[in-house]
Amino acid sequence: MKSSEIIKLLPYQKPFLFVDEITDISENGVIGNYTFQPNEFFYEGHFKDNPTTPGVILTETMAQIGVVCLGIFLLKNEILSDKKPQIALTSNNIDFFLPVLPNQKITVISTKEYFRFHKLKCSVKMMNSKNELVCRGTIAGMIVSI
């Protein structure tokens, strides 16, 4: 399954799609990136005169790239039989270290911890373009195709 096919299968669209590209994917993990554009809907009010990407959006970006993209890849045989993936976040634990500002490109690196009974748990980290750690933690979700 090609990266572009995985992105097309994501159950998101703008303005809530936070995946530009998948650069590497395998049974064990995924690497992808996203550039936060200055006109993103959340910058207008977070924070006044100092736009900063909210932590919940950083978590969502890591979930979309690190769990959902990988889950679609892992379920590719089921999804290719015309079944659509359904995703539900079940848990996350994220530590934040640096802010992400408008025009910043980030890279998400996700490593599968386990995938059984359609529950996927991953260790994820986000790096900025200077290769500095922005945030890291674990995210888990249920991924089924119906």
Give the catalytic positions in this structure: 46
The domain segmentation of the chain, as residue ranges, is 3-41+51-145
Please check the confidence at residue 126 and state whether its pLDDT lies above 60. Answer: yes
- Global pTM reads 0.94
DSSP codes, 46-80: SSTTS----HHHHHHHHHIIIIIIHHHHHTHHHHT
Q: What percent of the chain has pLDDT over 90?
A: 79
Q: Is 42 exposed, middle or buried (0-12, 13-18, 19+ CB in 10 A)?
A: middle
Model confidence at 81: pLDDT above 80: no
pLDDT band at 82 (very low <50, low <70, confident <90, very high): low
Structural fold of domain 3-41+51-145: Thiol Ester Dehydrase; Chain A (3.10.129)
Give the pLDDT band of residue 83 (cuts 50, 70, 90): low
